[in-house]
Structure 1
Amino acid sequence: RGSLSASRALHHQLLDNVLHLPLQHFETNPVGQIINRFTKDLLIVDLRFHYYLRTWLNCTLDVIGTILVITYASPLFIVVVIPLGYFYFTIQRYYIASSRQIRRLAGASHSPVISHFSETLVGRSTIRAFGHQERFIRKNNDVVYENLVYFYNNVISNRWLSVRLEFLGNLMVFFAALFVVLAGDTVSSSTVGLSISYALNIIQSLNFWVRKACEIETNAVSIERVYEYAKMDKEHGKLQSLSENFLFQVGIVGRTGAGKSTLTNCLFRVLEGSEGKIIIDGIDISTIGLHDLRGNLNIIPQDPVLFSGTLQSNLDPLGKHTDLELWEVLELCDLKDFVQSLPRKLLHEISEGGENLSAGQRQLVSLARVLLRKTKILVLDEATASVDMETDNLVQSTIKREFYNCTILTIAHRLHTVMDSERVLVLDSGRILEYDTPHNLLQQKGAFSEMVAEAGI
C-alpha cells in the first residue's frame, strides 16, 4: 500500500510537471522520452520495485536463519561466513556499478525506438509518397539494434554474476559439510542432516538475496528518471490583467533564418528571452501569467493543428460557444456549405492532424477557431504559405473584414500580403534592418525594395 501511494504521488507530480513544462522543451526533446517515463519507468515503480523490496527482505531473514542453524550445528562455520560474506558483498558492489549504468543506458536507448516508431506512424503517407520506406526500416533496425546491445550486455552481466554466486554458494556447502565431518561423534546424525540440508538451500537463498539487492539498486534508475522530469522547472508568471488599446497592421518580412518565427515564439513566451523586454501596453509580458498572456493573443500558424475528434471539438475545444456561433464563423470562412454537405455536419470526425481535410480546409478551420475567440492581437505566422491563391485571398479578405479594429502582425513570405500593411518590419539575422510604411521603404531602395523587385511585384 505504501509503495502504491508513493507511485501515485510520483505519477501525479510527473503529470503535473510535464503539462507545465515550457513549450521549448517539447521542441528540443523527442516525445519518446516522456512516453518512456509514463510507461516503462512507471510500470517498474508500480509493480516491480515493491516486489523486489519485499522479496529481498524475505531472503534476508531466510539467509540469517539458515546461517544461525548451521552455526549452531558447527560453531566453526562462523569463521568461514565472515570472509564469504565479504566476497559476496564485493561481487555485489562490482556488479551493481556496471549493471546500474547498463540499465540507465538501456532506458535511454528505449526512447529513440518509441520516438522513431511514433514519428514513422504519423508520417507514413509522406514516407510512402517519396519512396523512403527502406530508409526508415533501416533506421528502425538501427535504433532497435542499439537497444538490444544494452539488453544483451545486461544479460551477460547477469550470467557473470550467476557463475560467481554459484561458486561461493558451493564453497559454503563444502565448509558446512567439512566442519560437520570434523566434529565426528560430538554431533548427532539428525543435526548433521539439518545442517547439510540448510546449507544446500542457502545457495538459492543467497543467490536470490544478492540478485534482489542488485535489482533494487538498478531499478531505482527508473525512479531517478521519473523524478528527473517531476522536478523540471515549470512555466511561471504572476497574475495580472492585460489590455490592448493600440491599432496597427504590421507586416514582418525577411529571408529564411532572419528570425521571423523566433519573434513569434518570444511573443508567446515559447522561448524565454535572456535579455531585453517585450512590452504590450506598458506591461512587460515576462511578468504576467502565461494564461493571461496567451489568452489575449491569437495566432494562425503556417501548419494548423487539428486533433482527432469532431469538427465541433476542434473549433471550440472548451465548449464555450453555441452551435449558432459556430455556424456563423463557418459562414464567414466560406466553410458553411462544405460542413452542411457532411452527413454528421458539426459532429463530423476529424482524423489526427486533419488528414481527411485538404490543406486549405485545415487553414480555414484554424481561421474559424480564431474568429470564435477574437482578441485584440492577432499573429499570422505565414498563415497562407502552404495554400492556394484562392484560399489565400479568402483568408486575407476575412481577416481584414473581421479584425479591422485589431493589431495584426503578419509574418509572410508572399510579399503581396504585407503591401497594404500600415508598417513593414524587415528582419535579418535577428536584427531589425528597416521599419516604415511600405511606400517609404520602396522609396528608400533598401532591403525591402530588393525583395519586392525579386518577387516581381
Structure 2
Amino acid sequence: TLTFRAGISRLSAEAVSRIYDETTYRTSRLPMGFYDQNPAGRVMTRFTSDYNNIFRIFGGPLAEFIGLGFDLFAMTVLITVASPWLLPLWLLQALLNYGVYRFYLGSLRRERREMALKRSPGISHFAETTAGASTIRAFGRESMFQRRFSHLNDEYLEQRMRATTVFVRFSLGMTLATAFVLLLTGVASIALVSRGLLTVGAVGVAFAYLGLSSTILQSFFEWLGQFEEALTGLERMNEYLRLPLEDGAKLPAGAKFPTGHQREDNTSFGLEKNPGPSGGAAVEVRDLWMRYRADLPPILRGINLRIRAGERLAVVGRTGSGKTSLVQALYRLYPAERGTILVNGKEAATAAGGTEDLRAYRREMAYITQEATLFLGTIRENLIGPGEDILSSEVENAKRDAPLVQALRRVQFLREEATDQEYEYWLD
C-alpha cells in the first residue's frame, strides 16, 4: 500500500508540474491584446490559486482517493461473501450517499468558481497599488486604496464562507444518509430478532460492517467533492492551454500537449544584414494599419517609411500619436491589420500574419522600452538576458561599462575589477 501510494503521488506530482510548464509555455506566447483585456489578478490566480488547488488534490491525496476506492471494492466483496443479506443495505447506503453528492454537485462547482472570480480583483488591486505606491503616497490617497482592498477582500471572504457552508451542508447530508440507513437497520433487526430470524451476533456484525462502510463511503464522496475544486482549476488552466498564440509564435520543441499549436524546429529566420555605414538592416513599411482591438479605431493609418541600413530616424509626435504603436508594430507585439513590413526586402509581417519564426525575427532586433524593468535573477541575466553562454568582446565591454554596473560599484556591491562570478550575484 505504501509503495502504491508513493508511486501514485509521484506520478501525480509530475503530471501537475507538466500542466504548469505547458501552461507557462503558452501564456508567455499569447497576444499582447490578451494582457490588455485580462486583469493581472486573473492571470495570477491561474498560477496561484487554481494551480495550488490542482496540486493540493492531485499531488498526493489522489492516492488516498484511489485507496478509498479499493477499500470500497474490498468491502463490497467481503459483505457479498460473508453476509449476503447485508448487501441490499450496503447498496442503499451507497445510493443515498451518491444522491447527496449529485444534489450538491452543482452548488459546489458554482460557489468555487465564484470564489476564484472574487479572488482575482483583490490580487489585481494589490499589484496595482504596489506598482503605483509612490504616486499614491505623493497624493495622500493611501486610505482610499486601503478601503478598496478591504472591500474586495471582504467580498472574497464572504464568498469563501458561502462555499464552505455548501461543503458543510454536503457533509451533513452524507451523515444524515448514513444515520437513516443505520436507523432502518436497527428497526429491521429488532423485528427479525424478535421472530428468531436473526441472531444478536448477526445484528452486531451488521452494525459493524455498516459503520465501517459508512466511514469509507462518506470519506470517498467528500474527497470526490473536493476534487470538484481541483477540476474547476483544471478546466480554467485548460482554457489557457488552448488559447491561440500570437501570429508567428511557436511552442518549444519540448512542449508535449497536443493543442494544435506550432512547435519550434532547428530552422531560423535570418534578416541577412546588409553592411551599411555602421552595419544594420534596411527596413521598409508600406501602408501599415494597426489597431489594438477590433472594436477600437486604428492607431496607425497608412504608415509608409523607409530606413536605410545604418540610418538613424527619429519619430516625433505628441502623446497618443502612435510613436510607441509604430515600434510595437515593427516588433510585431501587435498584429498589423493591413500593410507590409520589409526587412532587407524580405517580408516580416503582414495583415494575415507571417509564417516565419517570430522568436528568431525578434532576436535580430533591439528594443529599449521607456520603462526599465529589473528582473529577479543575477546581474549577468539582467544585463544580457538568461541563457547566453558565450559573450562577444563587445558585450563584455558593454556589460562592464553599463550604468547598472557603475551604480553597483558606487554602493560597493561590485569591485572596480569585477569577476565573472560576481556578475552571478542575485538581485532582490
Same fold (TM over 0.5): yes
What secondary structure sits across from 2:367 in the alignment?
A: strand
Q: CA deviation at 1:169?
A: 0.9
Q: CA deviation at 1:152?
A: 0.9
Aligned 8 A contact 2:374 2:382 in 1? yes
Q: CA deviation at 1:180?
A: 2.0
Give the whole-Å Cα distance in 2 for the aligned partners of 1:312 and 1:71.
69
Q: CA deviation at 1:340?
A: 6.4
Give the whole-Å Cα distance in 1 for the aligned partners of 2:346 and 2:173.
68
Q: CA deviation at 1:350?
A: 10
**Residue equivalent to 1:241:** 270
**Residue equivalent to 1:305:** 373
Q: 1:146 aligns with which of 136, 147, 155?
A: 155
**Residue equivalent to 1:278:** 341
Q: CA deviation at 1:18?
A: 2.9
1:36-115 pair list within 5 angstroms: 36-49=45-58, 51-63=60-72, 85-115=94-124
Q: CA deviation at 1:207?
A: 2.1
Go from structure 1 to structure 2 and tell me whether the alpha carbon gap of 1:24 and 1:112 turns closer, same or farther (over 3 Å shift). same
**Residue equivalent to 1:290:** 358
Residue 206 (structure 1) aligned with residue 235 (structure 2): no
Q: CA deviation at 1:270?
A: 0.8
Deviation per CA, 1:95-148, whole angstroms, max 9, x where unpaired? 111211221222233233333333333332332222111111112112212221
Give the whole-Å Cα distance in 2 for the aligned partners of 1:324 and 1:79.
80
Q: 2:397 aligns with which of 325, 335, 346?
A: 325
Give the whole-Å Cα distance in 1 for the aligned partners of 2:360 and 2:329.
15
Go from structure 1 to structure 2 and tell me whether the alpha carbon gap of 1:309 and 1:154 turns closer, same or farther (over 3 Å shift). closer
Q: Which moved more, 1:56-65 or 1:14-23?
A: 56-65
Q: CA deviation at 1:89?
A: 2.5
Give the whole-Å Cα distance in 2 for the aligned partners of 1:91 and 1:328.
68
Go from structure 1 to structure 2 and tell me whether the alpha carbon gap of 1:211 and 1:27 turns closer, same or farther (over 3 Å shift). same
**Residue equivalent to 1:389:** none
**Residue equivalent to 1:192:** 203
> Aligned partner of 1:294: which letter?
R
What secondary structure sits across from 1:138 in the alignment?
A: helix
**Residue equivalent to 1:360:** none
TM-score with structure 2 setting the length: 0.69
What secondary structure sits across from 2:134 in the alignment?
A: helix
Aligned 8 A contact 1:69 1:195 in 2? no
**Residue equivalent to 1:15:** 24
What secondary structure sits across from 1:276 in the alignment?
A: strand
Aligned 8 A contact 2:16 2:58 in 1? no
Identity of aligned residues (%): 23
Q: 1:261 aligns with which of 319, 324, 334?
A: 324
Matched residues, number: 349
Go from structure 1 to structure 2 and tell me whether the alpha carbon gap of 1:116 and 1:342 turns closer, same or farther (over 3 Å shift). same
What secondary structure sits across from 1:252 in the alignment?
A: coil
Structure 1 gap segments, 5+ residues each: 353-457
Q: CA deviation at 1:258?
A: 3.0
What secondary structure sits across from 1:106 in the alignment?
A: helix
Q: CA deviation at 1:269?
A: 0.8
Go from structure 1 to structure 2 and tell me whether the alpha carbon gap of 1:71 and 1:37 turns closer, same or farther (over 3 Å shift). same
Q: CA deviation at 1:313?
A: 5.0
Give the whole-Å Cα distance in 2 for the aligned partners of 1:97 and 1:337.
60
Give the whole-Å Cα distance in 2 for the aligned partners of 1:50 and 1:305.
35
Aligned 8 A contact 1:309 1:350 in 2? yes
**Residue equivalent to 1:450:** none
Aligned 8 A contact 2:182 2:210 in 1? yes
Q: Counting helix residues as a fraction of each chain, which structure ranks higher?
A: 1
**Residue equivalent to 2:230:** 219
Q: CA deviation at 1:164?
A: 2.1
What secondary structure sits across from 1:285 in the alignment?
A: strand
**Residue equivalent to 2:3:** none
**Residue equivalent to 1:439:** none
Give the whole-Å Cα distance in 1 for the aligned partners of 2:329 and 2:183.
73
Go from structure 1 to structure 2 and tell me whether the alpha carbon gap of 1:312 and 1:168 turns closer, same or farther (over 3 Å shift). closer
Give the whole-Å Cα distance in 2 for the aligned partners of 1:166 and 1:16.
45
**Residue equivalent to 2:13:** 4
> Aligned partner of 2:398: which letter?
L
Aligned 8 A contact 2:270 2:360 in 1? yes
What secondary structure sits across from 2:315 in the alignment?
A: strand
**Residue equivalent to 1:433:** none
Which structure's CA Rg is the greater one? 1
Give the whole-Å Cα distance in 2 for the aligned partners of 1:24 and 1:193.
67
Aligned 8 A contact 1:52 1:215 in 2? no
Aligned CA RMSD, in angstroms, stands at: 3.5
> Aligned partner of 2:162: which letter?
N
Aligned 8 A contact 1:32 1:112 in 2? yes
Give the whole-Å Cα distance in 1 for the aligned partners of 2:399 and 2:181.
83
Q: CA deviation at 1:252?
A: 3.1
Structure 2 gap segments, 5+ residues each: 1-9, 250-266, 274-280, 283-307
Q: CA deviation at 1:52?
A: 4.2
> Aligned partner of 2:155: which letter?
E
> Aligned partner of 1:295: which letter?
R
Give the whole-Å Cα distance in 1 for the aligned partners of 2:49 and 2:84.
48
